[in-house]
Amino acid sequence: MQIVLAHIGSKPSTRDPADQLVSMYLERCSTFAKFQEQSLRTEDALFEWLDRQQRRSPAVIVLLDSRGRQMTSESFAEWLGKQRDTSVQQIVFAIGPASGWSDASRKRATLLLSLGSLTLAHALARVVLAEQVYRAFTILTGHPYHSGH
Instruction: Tell me the pLDDT tens digit for each residue of 51-90.
Output: 998 778 889 999 999 999 999 999 999 999 999 999 999 9
Residue 149: pLDDT band with limits 50, 70, 90 = low
β-strands 60-69, 90-95: how paired? parallel
Measured in whole angstroms, the distance separating CA 97 from the mean position of its chain's CA atoms is 15
- In this predicted structure, the answer to whether residue 148 has a pLDDT above a threshold of 80 is no
Domain ranges in the chain are 2-141
Model confidence band, residue 143 (pLDDT cutoffs 50, 70, 90):
confident
What CATH number was assigned to the domain covering residues 2-141? 3.40.1280.10
130 class by beta-carbon count within 10 Å (0-12 exposed, 13-18 middle, 19+ buried): buried
pLDDT digits (tens, 9 = 90+) for 80-136: 999 999 999 999 999 999 899 999 999 999 999 999 988 889 899 999 999 999 999
